[in-house]
Structure 1
Amino acid sequence: MSKQYILIFAKTTYAKTPYDQWLAGTGIEPIILTPEEYASGYRHLPQVHAFANYDHNQLVEKTALRLGRRYPLVGVFARAEADVIRAGQLRDALDLPGQRTASALAYRNKVIMKDHLRGSGVLLPDYRPLDSAYTAIQFVEAHGFPVVIKPQAESGSFGTHIIHDERELDSYLANAQRGNLEIETFVDGQMYHVDGLIIGGKIAFIHPFKYVNDCLSYRKNEFAGTRTLSSTDPLYQPLIDTARKVLGALPSPSNMAFHCELWHTKTGEIVFCEIASRTGGGMISSNIVYSFDLNIDKEWLLAECGLAQPLGPRAYRPGGGVVIPPLNGVLEHLPRGNEPEYVREVVFTSSEGQRFHGGVKSGLFLAGYVIAGDSEEEVSTNMFGVADWFAKSAKWQLST
């Protein structure tokens, strides 16, 4: 049997996604396209192509198309937000199975996804594309403050602005960059997310999580994190039911990880925020490995290769994930080796001596932790505990 290949847009370290190990014994070889900073981890593989400015470098697409025409591909794999559309476009160009461009846009563009959800029974904020200051003013006149302005296609709350009054609107408009933006009504509620995996057109795994702090915590130099929700929680099933409605209304591919964010309002409604056709960022996927003994990325990859395995019932233990943003200054000491006893996994993305300028987005962090506890409430307590321990243990030369 001749060798087959899968082309992988690999915007992760090898330690997180050892694709060759996951494919060992299958006869399928990974072809890796990756940012320069991650390339060293994959260098032992025969086919590794590294790129500077990976997210915006269109030589990534050119190289992918050339390789796709040269090697017999069983498919294309992309787990990061930056790669969702470029992977869909490549599948279109090569007529390969998997998520195509139209589906990728529905899961990437916040206006397109909400347009799909109209009439589905899923509650939505009022929204519209934001093309000018005139639109912003008219939207505020129609709906009042506060409003939210954000990019149509970004992740990790990057570029999100909550506008509370006329003064903040003027400040935003004085410095705003034009582009593909969306304006929507502010939803006052607790944020949750539902993550899962579709295999063969059916939901093979689904579970809700609660945000501890919020998605914009990094702007206040505070940790962000989420924890599992118990099946006895009154919101457990309503959150899952809403996520199922969302998935049913969107053009979903046969195999896909998903990360769906929802608000629970003070009046008891569940309102849609957004959804992505990828694995959750931060420590979410690591939390799922700990809490359910399930590596979504691995199972998704095997499904894209036509090698899907039955997942079966999953054992459950409460868990959470904490991501800690950098401060504004030089990191002099990164605490390691003496973490609190409830820490189950540690991920560092940087090292001592580096200069930072504070948090950039919720998915870009300095340190990440998977947290254990005997109950969901204890997990929450321990999440604050590890953040407090880190703040007291790390040493910074702060900038003014």
Structure 2
Amino acid sequence: MILVLISARGAGLPFARWLPEMCGQLVAVCAAGADPGEGFAEIVTVTDYNDDDAVLGAARDLAGRHRPNAVFALAEVDVERAARLRGELGLPGLDTATAAAYRDKILMKELAQAAGLLVPAFAPVRHPADIADFMARHPGHVVVKPRSGSGSTGVYVLDSPAQAAGLADIVTSTPYEVEEFVDGAVHHVDAFRVGGRPVAAVVSRYTGQGCLEHWTDAPFGSRSVDTADPICARLVHETWRLVDALVSPPTVCVHAEFFVTGNGDIVLCEVAARIGGGPIPTMLRHVLGIDPRHLWARVECGLPTDLDAVRERVATAPHAAFYGVPPRLGRVQRLPDAPPGVHDFTLNTHVGDEWSPARYSERKSADFLAFWVITDPDFTALGRRLVSTAEQVSAGFVWDRLESEDAA
């Protein structure tokens, strides 16, 4: 039996197709409204998937009835839950101590710094005065973000200590950190290791300011870095150093983000022990030759996987990129057409779809209304096509302003 934790964002994934040997031997804890698909022997739905006690309680009940030999989860919110369940059930995989290091951005940076990796200056935040004190010691922009957040939610970039007072209710109710703003190109490395042996480490560079770009309503994306570029090997090296610094198990997958500064320094942004979100799995499929979630599901569940085929594919794959258009305040009036020559063009919206201020404020960086993937053996041509398709799709959207927005 395999116990699967399925958040709302994991709804619709083809677990039974990815794990055909386990059809009828899968059990799941699901967020309310999430469709786990076919092949499950039992499904328990949790009304509030943010409630750790509810999710863990449902999982323990399932485990007591079915005795699973693996726990599988894809969402950031489930990293520590799955680790805790593995520990209680005596199953292999990420343990609670390592899961905490991948979730808590303070602990993460402490371990990385102790191992010699460059990290931004940082400090825990319990009160706005902590931010003001930090800014007095580190003049300039700072980033204030949840210690265990994801998807750029709850992130604030401050220019002056006076702005900290406006975050009083937020930072006193949720664990936060403050760190210096690093001026550099944001890269991500999606890496997979099985039995202590690397399978793949794909280096990509976000456009603009990466995941923070969506706060400006600007489209953004990511494209793989030319393997001939020396920064590629350096980022891969830093990623494996980071994995070891966080005392990771021999089998692990990570989505690591780094800043590359103008003078070539590589500075850690953060790292997660999971597959990257949004369109990243779709882009990676064109590099790995398999959906990374499919790959990791089989690895985590101890099922046969042709890892050498993945290694060979990565060595010969074309360059790949994704681009996405985020939501904005208002109502969708017209939808774009897919540009010619793109892959996996996906619309996650419809005419009349309304983004109210409340809904808009809760958006994540991966909440694209449209995204697509481009591949090209020519790295320069890939960049040109990325820009042109972004212009076409952005121009294809038409929005109505909401009355509440006009009134504001």
Query: Normalised by the size of structure 1, how large is the TM-score?
Result: 0.91
Deviation of residue 235 (structure 1)? Answer: 0.8
- Check whether the contact 1:227–1:376 (CA below 8 A) recurs between aligned residues: no
| 1:383 lines up with 2:386 in the alignment | yes
Q: Secondary structure at the match of 1:194?
A: strand
Partners of 1:152 and 1:94 in 2: CA distance: 28
Partners of 1:397 and 1:50 in 2: CA distance: 36
- Structure 1 gaps of 5+ residues are none
| 1:212 lines up with 2:195 in the alignment | no
Return the structure number with greater helix share.
Answer: 2
Q: 2:301 aligns with which of 301, 305, 309?
A: 305
Deviation of residue 350 (structure 1)? Answer: 3.3
Match of 1:71 in 2: 66
Deviation of residue 308 (structure 1)? Answer: 4.3
Cα deviation, 1:264-319, whole Å, max 9, x if unaligned, reads 01121010111000000111111110123132222222122222424122231111
Q: 2:3 aligns with which of 7, 12, 16?
A: 7
Match of 1:83 in 2: 78
Deviation of residue 27 (structure 1)? Answer: 6.8
Deviation of residue 341 (structure 1)? Answer: 1.7
Q: 2:286 aligns with which of 290, 302, 321?
A: 290
Letter in 2 for 1:326: P
- Check whether the contact 1:299–1:308 (CA below 8 A) recurs between aligned residues: no
| 1:47 lines up with 2:47 in the alignment | no
Match of 1:371 in 2: 374
- Structure 2 gaps of 5+ residues are none
Deviation of residue 57 (structure 1)? Answer: 6.0
Q: Secondary structure at the match of 2:182?
A: coil
Q: 1:179 aligns with which of 174, 183, 186?
A: 174
- Check whether the contact 1:189–1:265 (CA below 8 A) recurs between aligned residues: yes
Q: Name which of structure 1's ranges 82-91 and 354-363 shifts more when overlaid on structure 2.
A: 354-363
| 1:18 lines up with 2:25 in the alignment | no
Q: Secondary structure at the match of 2:41?
A: coil
Q: 1:168 aligns with which of 152, 163, 170?
A: 163
Letter in 2 for 1:344: H
Match of 2:57 in 1: 62
Partners of 2:350 and 2:30 in 1: CA distance: 21
Partners of 1:28 and 1:239 in 2: CA distance: 41
Q: Secondary structure at the match of 2:384?
A: helix
Deviation of residue 13 (structure 1)? Answer: 4.6
Q: Where do residues 71-220 of structure 1 align in structure 2 (5 Å cutoff)?
A: 71-173=66-168, 178-213=173-208, 214-220=210-216
Cα deviation, 1:122-181, whole Å, max 9, x if unaligned, reads 111111111112322221121112211110001111111111224434444587553200
Match of 1:258 in 2: 254
Match of 1:341 in 2: 340
Q: Secondary structure at the match of 2:33?
A: helix
Partners of 1:175 and 1:32 in 2: CA distance: 33
Letter in 2 for 1:348: L
Q: Secondary structure at the match of 2:117?
A: coil
Runs of 4 or more consecutive aligned structure 1 residues displaced over 6 Å after TM superposition: none
Q: How many residues align?
A: 392
Partners of 1:305 and 1:215 in 2: CA distance: 31
- Check whether the contact 1:127–1:185 (CA below 8 A) recurs between aligned residues: yes
Deviation of residue 22 (structure 1)? Answer: 1.6
| 1:248 lines up with 2:247 in the alignment | no
Letter in 2 for 1:198: R
Letter in 1 for 2:375: A
Query: Normalised by the size of structure 2, how large is the TM-score?
Result: 0.90
Deviation of residue 28 (structure 1)? Answer: 7.2
- Check whether the contact 1:69–1:94 (CA below 8 A) recurs between aligned residues: no
In 2 relative to 1, CA 28–200 (structure 1 residues): closer, same or farther, beyond 3 Å?
A: farther
Partners of 1:397 and 1:295 in 2: CA distance: 36
- Check whether the contact 1:225–1:322 (CA below 8 A) recurs between aligned residues: yes
Partners of 1:31 and 1:266 in 2: CA distance: 49
In 2 relative to 1, CA 308–142 (structure 1 residues): closer, same or farther, beyond 3 Å?
A: farther
Deviation of residue 222 (structure 1)? Answer: 0.9
In 2 relative to 1, CA 33–385 (structure 1 residues): closer, same or farther, beyond 3 Å?
A: farther
- Check whether the contact 2:191–2:253 (CA below 8 A) recurs between aligned residues: yes
| 1:361 lines up with 2:357 in the alignment | no
Letter in 1 for 2:160: D
- Check whether the contact 1:197–1:203 (CA below 8 A) recurs between aligned residues: yes
In 2 relative to 1, CA 44–207 (structure 1 residues): closer, same or farther, beyond 3 Å?
A: closer
- Check whether the contact 2:205–2:225 (CA below 8 A) recurs between aligned residues: yes
Q: CA RMSD in A?
A: 2.1
